[in-house]
Amino acid sequence: MSFIDVIKERAKADKKTIVLPESMDRRTFEAAEKILKEGIANLIIIGTPEEIEANSRGLDISGAVIVNPFDDPNKQKYIDLFVELRKSKGITPEIAKETIEKDYMYYACLMCKAGDADGAVSGACHSTANTIRPCLQLIKTKPGTKLVSAFFLMEVPDCRYGDNGIFVFADCGLNQNPNAEELAAIAGSSAESFKMLTGDEPKVAMLSYSSKGSAKHDDVTKVQDAVKVAKELYPDLELDGELQLDAAIVPEVGKSKAPGSTVAGRANTLIFPNLDAGNIGYKLVQRLARGEAYGPVLQGIAMPVNDLSRGCFSDDIVGVVAITAVQAQNK
């Protein structure tokens, strides 16, 4: 059984209700058919009858709840909630109504905030910003969160590295050039996410093109400083750096480049120094190693709302919905 199948089984054991707002994309309905057939989650799909008909033709989504944002009986409740949450920003009932009719992700987030859904998944045909903006405005961050960040759950076939080929890669979807304190926060959140999803202990590597001072540059210093901050904030966490990728995951290289490290050669949670490196890294593994990449999964939001790559397939949506459901179980 693959790891994502394990996640699906966990989702099935305590089914949650997940909102899919992208009724304008057929992949949403292909995924919905699979999710409903497998019993992974209860689904709400937001869309007009015309959108549903045009994009779900030939697919069985009869188990989903369809919400038309133009005649939903609960619409006024969501408008009122939107105004209450954003009145300090000048949101009027008219603006709220126009916004939720135009951008279904706002509707999805209001459903979550109102307790009518447990989480939402979007991003197949919208940018990360379009997914994150509504949830930051309406659902807001989890108490104690220093930084909202994003990770990919990577499942690499026939791989002896990481946790039998399972990794968390962060931040691969949100923070462009985090400073040392932000990198440390990303490391803490990612370790928590790894343990929540796998049940195993995270071993966190702060990645660089340098290992233990083998190169000198401000970019290296930033990662070194992040390691210091993270060790102060999370003293019980197995975390080390700065480490090159091979020193982080290959035991023989880890022993050579970072002797005495409890993480080098054994890392399963990889923290990239910036978004360029993270995005390139996960896509290299996905395309060249045929790894499964589920995400970007957001961490630090008060309720589970997750993003998708616009290049995703329907099976990727299924996986992210399963992860979202498991997050909801652990909220």
Q: Is the Cβ–Cβ distance between 213 and 288 less than 8 Å? A: no
Which pLDDT value is given to residue 174?
Answer: 87
Which pLDDT value is given to residue 286?
Answer: 93
Which pLDDT value is given to residue 307?
Answer: 87
47-66 residue pLDDT tens: 999 999 999 999 999 999 99
Q: Which residues of 216-251 are buried (b: 16+ CB within 10 A; e: fewer)?
A: eeeebebbbbbbebbeeebeebbbbbbbbbbbbbbe
| pLDDT over threshold 80, residue 158 | yes
Q: Which two tokens stand for residue 262?
A: 């409890």
Please, which residues bridge with residue 19 across strands? 44, 120
Q: What is the mean pLDDT of the chain?
A: 94
Q: How far apart (Å, rounded) are the C-alpha atoms in residues 219 and 223?
A: 7
Percent of the chain, pLDDT > 90? Answer: 85
Cite the beta strand spans of the chain per DSSP E.
Answer: 17-20, 42-46, 65-67, 119-121, 149-155, 166-170, 203-207, 238-243, 269-271, 292-299, 305-306
Q: Which two tokens stand for residue 26?
A: 């057929």
User: What amino acid occupies position 122?
Assistant: S
Distances (CA, A) of 185 to 150, 172, 192, 232, 274: 12, 14, 11, 11, 13
